[in-house]
């Protein structure tokens, strides 16, 4: 369990919990992990919003 806490963080976004790379003092960029089932919808939303 301790290993998991060092390598991942959980971010709550609109009531949904997202698994993210832990934030550091060096960068405030949020990088989150996504399941391959969600990938198409995420990419489509990004594409249509730009």
Three-class DSSP labels, the chain: CHHHHHHCEEEEECCEEEEECCCCCCCCCCCECCCHHHHHHHHHHHHHHC
The tens digit of pLDDT for each residue in 1-50 reads: 577 667 888 888 888 888 888 888 887 888 888 878 888 888 898 889 87
- Listed by start position, the domains of the chain span 2-49
Q: Is this prediction's pTM over 0.75? A: no
């Amino acid at each position: 369990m301790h290993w998991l806490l060092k390598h991942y963080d959980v971010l709550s976004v609109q009531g949904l919990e997202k698994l993210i790379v832990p934030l550091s003092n060096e960068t405030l960029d949020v990088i989150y992990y996504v399941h391959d089932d969600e990938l198409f919808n995420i990419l489509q939303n990004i594409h249509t919003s730009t």
